């Protein structure tokens, strides 16, 4: 492969169906001097492939190896290969990648308990990073924190909602929303609960029909447009963050809240490990704890507008490929 004299070559192996992030990563790598080729992290790149990956069918690994080798490795060379999530990646694929690149880096924005695929290959790359604190401690992996993907905004803070909750419905999120909103006197709120499909709808309804009916007008099968998400987050005094029980990493939502000068109510005690998330902008509320604590902290921070802190994808990329 002929190289551009002004850039290095990077193969980015990324779940392309994960919102807009593959192109977002590509743009950030471009700005750091890399010419980027994107491959999906599993093949076939279809609903069938997703089902195979979800069910951990071994054939997926073979198909992913064959497809990536044929379309992205044979006759190619790269200065670095970056693997994000890597559900279809195997140690055999890493061997093939090493033939065309001197540096292979991996990262997962899920915990191994939630998404176990990297366990079978993370030891074969040059460096593997995680966002999850429990995995970091258990497997001796370095942490790279996530980032805010919000566009730069220098306008003065405007508050239209006391509390916003924009979530995808899973695990105990609906219970957490109800616990927070039922214990605070909130005059203005924004609640948007995204239900992925009818299968998850049935699962979640059976799990808690009372709450489903209570919040039914806030539940949608369409995700909130990103521009509207940005507007609501920026115009919120507080936003809710609910970490999945199987994960301990700090979510993108928290970094976007910091970027928006929006305070956070979260169930994740690990957020305190990031110095910019502290008692001036964050309430760590365990839903099993006394609601009086939530009420007291909510009132204490009521008139405080947090200091703006922007951790961008450029910070993330520089740490990942350094």
Q: What is the pLDDT of residues 200-233, one digit of tens each?
A: 899 989 999 999 999 999 999 999 999 999 999 9
Would the pLDDT of 148 be above 70? yes
User: What is the per-residue pLDDT for 198?
Assistant: 87
The two structure tokens encoding residue 193? 């609960």
Q: Tell me the percentage of the chain whose pLDDT exceeds 90.
A: 90
Average pLDDT rounded to a whole number, residues 84-99: 98
Per-residue pLDDT, 6: 63
Q: Among 49-53, 80-84, 160-164, where is mean pLDDT lowest?
A: 49-53
Give the per-residue pLDDT at 295: 97
Mean pLDDT of the chain: 95
194 DSSP β-pair partners: 168, 220
Instruction: Provide the pLDDT for residue 5.
Output: 52
Secondary structure element (H or E) that encloses residue 12, with its range: strand 8-13
Q: How far apart are CA 285 and CA 180, in angstroms?
A: 9
CATH topology of domain 8-144: Rossmann fold (3.40.50)
- Tokens standing for 94? 């890493």
Each residue of 298-309: pLDDT tens digit?
999 999 999 999
The pLDDT of 130-147, averaged and rounded, is 98
Say yes or no to pLDDT of 4 above 70: no
CATH 3.40.1280.10 fits 161-300, yes or no: no
More confident residue, 302 or 81: 81
Stretch (H or E) spanning 219: strand 219-220
- Would you call the peptide bond into 251 cis, given omega within 30 degrees of 0 as the criterion? no
> Do 8-144 and 161-300 have matching folds?
yes
Q: What is the pLDDT of residue 11?
A: 98
Site of tokens 């502290």: 278
Domain definitions of the chain by residue range: 8-144, 161-300
- Per the DSSP assignment, residues forming a β-bridge with 13 are 39, 83
The upper half-sphere exposure of residue 32, i.e. CA atoms within 13 Å in the direction of its Cβ, equals: 20
Residue 2 has what pLDDT?
Answer: 43
Supply 263's token pair: 């305070």
pLDDT tens digits, 259-278: 999 999 999 999 999 999 99
Strand order in the sheet with 236-241: 219-220, 189-194, 161-168, 236-241, 263-266, 282-284
């Amino acid at each position: 492969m002929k190289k551009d004299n002004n850039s290095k070559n990077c193969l980015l192996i990324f779940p392309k169906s994960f919102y807009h992030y593959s192109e977002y990563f590509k743009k950030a790598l471009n700005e750091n001097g890399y010419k980027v080729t994107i491959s999906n992290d599993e093949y076939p790149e279809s609903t069938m492939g997703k089902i195979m990956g979800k069910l951990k069918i071994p054939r997926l690994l073979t198909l992913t190896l064959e497809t990536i080798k044929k379309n992205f490795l044979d006759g190619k060379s790269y200065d670095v290969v970056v693997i994000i999530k890597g559900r279809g990646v195997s140690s055999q694929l890493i061997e093939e990648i090493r033939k065309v690149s001197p540096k292979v880096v991996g990262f997962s924005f899920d915990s191994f308990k939630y998404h176990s695929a990297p366990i079978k290959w993370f030891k074969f790359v040059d460096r593997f990073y995680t966002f999850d604190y429990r995995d970091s401690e258990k497997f001796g992996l370095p942490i790279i924190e996530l980032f805010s993907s919000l566009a730069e905004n220098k306008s003065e803070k405007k508050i239209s909602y006391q509390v916003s909750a924009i979530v995808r419905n899973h695990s105990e999120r609906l219970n957490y929303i109800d616990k927070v909103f039922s214990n605070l006197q909130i005059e203005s709120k924004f609640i948007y609960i995204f239900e992925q499909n009818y299968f998850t709808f049935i699962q979640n309804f059976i799990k808690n029909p009372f709450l489903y009916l209570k919040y039914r007008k806030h539940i949608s099968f369409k995700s909130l447009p990103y521009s509207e998400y940005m507007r609501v987050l920026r115009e919120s005094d507080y936003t809710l963050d609910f970490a999945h029980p199987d994960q301990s990493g700090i979510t993108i939502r928290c970094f976007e809240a910091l970027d928006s000068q929006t305070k956070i109510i979260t169930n994740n005690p690990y957020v305190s490990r990031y110095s910019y998330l502290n008692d001036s902008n964050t309430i760590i509320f365990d839903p099993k704890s006394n609601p009086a604590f939530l009420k007291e902290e909510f009132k204490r921070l009521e008139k405080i507008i947090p200091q703006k802190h922007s951790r961008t994808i450029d910070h993330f990329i520089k740490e990942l490929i350094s």
